[in-house]
A and B are shown apart, each in its own frame.
Chain A
Amino acid sequence: MKTPSQRIYLIGGNNKAKLLARSLTERGYTVAAINASAEICEELALIPHLRVYNGDGSLPNVLDDASIHDADIAIALTGKDEDNLVICQLCKKRFGVKRTVALISDPRKTEFFYKLGIDSVVCEVTSVASIIEQQTLMNEFSTLVPIGDGRIKISQVPIPADAPSVNKRVMDIKLPNHVIIGCIVRGEDGMIPRGNTVIHAGDVLVLISSDEQESSVRELTGRESEM
């Protein structure tokens, strides 16, 4: 297996930083952590192959001392949205880091962060809500991954035996233009559907849609979408 060559900096955070540091170093990435808390730094230092710097990552000189300009990816994990914004902006604009990721707690600021040039904005509340939704509505139609501020959705739709799409070819189902069936999960197998693929009862369809998700769910399962 090729060793990943990307250098990743984790700035701030406690448990998330530790968990990510472990998982990324184990996968072979070159990882460094910058943390304002000396106590957390000591705990981070126990993780093998992790470089640890103690300091406030929203200060340019701290980032400089940690050689942040070597980073390919910087991930800001502090508990404060404003700190994560400043960390990412400094990394990107001052130190030329290619990719910046900011964790935020206020979902209403997602778009604003993207507007200011942050490459990825991860909203804790939104992500957790979507996972809970996915876990609790396992058998219903559910959104797996919202992309682009939720405008594009990847969702799974289980096909019951009485669904109008059962035993129909994909090409014969009237799906709106904004929806495609990306994948069909049948038992243990996943398959990419062609026009002549026939849908079976018990299939789980993975839909990619930018709009009109509800009407396509009705078309496929005969049920009203609960979303």
Chain B
Amino acid sequence: MPNKLSPLLKRSAFTVVVGCGRLGASIANMLSDEGGGVVVVDQERESFNKLSASFGGMTLTGDSTDISVLDEANLGAAAAVVVVTGNDNTNIMVAQMAKELYKVKHVVARLYDPARESVYREFGIDTISPVVLSTREIRRLLQIEERGDIEENV
């Protein structure tokens, strides 16, 4: 099958965002606003409604665990892949496919489960866990408040 996307994409560095939920759409909008090339992949066409009106990247409807869909997204030429579907195990598999099959340098996967997140970080995948990030941020905010309290008391 002829690859419709590749001639356009080869010209510049681009990022593939897998999963167009709130996080995926937000990342895609950000990258596009910054002038970067973006391909967003999602199983549901309606998910792309979350993209902003100014989004200048490309969308691809399909199952991201399907090798032919990843081929069509031209993963082999991508500078980075961000895997943020709603399913941890899908994210783990697609991230490893990007690394092993397409040799993508920068692969980031979002994992909801912190226990799985720590395991896969050990395996060499850049993972982020919303729970861990939120916990850290909340702790930081609490510490600032505490310090504020202490300073007030001095």
Binding site for B on A (CB under 8 A): 58-61, 80-83, 85-86, 89-90, 93-94, 106, 108-109, 112, 115-116
Q: Identify which of B87, B89, B97, B116 contacts A60 (C-beta below 8 A).
A: B116
Interface string of B70-114 (1 = CB under 8 A from A): 000000000000000001111011101100110000000000010
Query: With an 8 A cutoff between CB atoms, is B52 at the interface?
Result: no
Bound-state Cα–Cα, A109 to B90, Å: 14
Q: Identify which of A81, A86, A109, A116 contacts B116 (C-beta below 8 A).
A: A86
Of A59, A82, A83, most buried by chain B (CB within 10 Å of CB) is: A82
B65 & A116 in contact (Cβ 8 Å cutoff): no
A86 & B93 in contact (Cβ 8 Å cutoff): yes
B89 & A83 in contact (Cβ 8 Å cutoff): yes
A82 & B93 in contact (Cβ 8 Å cutoff): yes
**A residues less than 8 Å from B92 (CB atoms):** 82, 85-86, 89
Q: Nearest Cβ distance between residue A45 and chain B, in whole angstroms?
A: 26
Known contacts A82-B87, A86-B92; A59 and B115 CB within 8 A of each other: yes
Known contacts A83-B89, A116-B96; A93 and B119 CB within 8 A of each other: yes
Q: Nearest Cβ distance between residue B112 and chain A, in whole angstroms?
A: 11
**B residues less than 8 Å from A89 (CB atoms):** 92, 123
A82 & B115 in contact (Cβ 8 Å cutoff): no
B115 & A61 in contact (Cβ 8 Å cutoff): yes
Binding site for A on B (CB under 8 A): 65-67, 87-90, 92-94, 96-97, 100-101, 113, 115-116, 119, 122-123
**Closest 4 pairs (CB-CB, A-B):** A82-B93, A82-B89, A60-B115, A86-B89
Of B67, B93, B101, B115, most buried by chain A (CB within 10 Å of CB) is: B93
Bound-state Cα–Cα, A58 to B122, Å: 16
Bound-state Cα–Cα, A109 to B94, Å: 11
Bound-state Cα–Cα, A71 to B41, Å: 38
B89 & A112 in contact (Cβ 8 Å cutoff): no
**B residues less than 8 Å from A94 (CB atoms):** 119
- When C-beta atoms are compared, the residue in chain B nearest to A86 turns out to be B89
**B residues less than 8 Å from A82 (CB atoms):** 65, 87, 89-90, 92-94
Q: Nearest Cβ distance between residue B87 and chain A, in whole angstroms?
A: 7
**A residues less than 8 Å from B97 (CB atoms):** 112
Bound-state Cα–Cα, A58 to B66, Å: 21
B96 & A60 in contact (Cβ 8 Å cutoff): no
Bound-state Cα–Cα, A178 to B67, Å: 32
Bound-state Cα–Cα, A82 to B93, Å: 6
**A residues less than 8 Å from B67 (CB atoms):** 106, 108-109
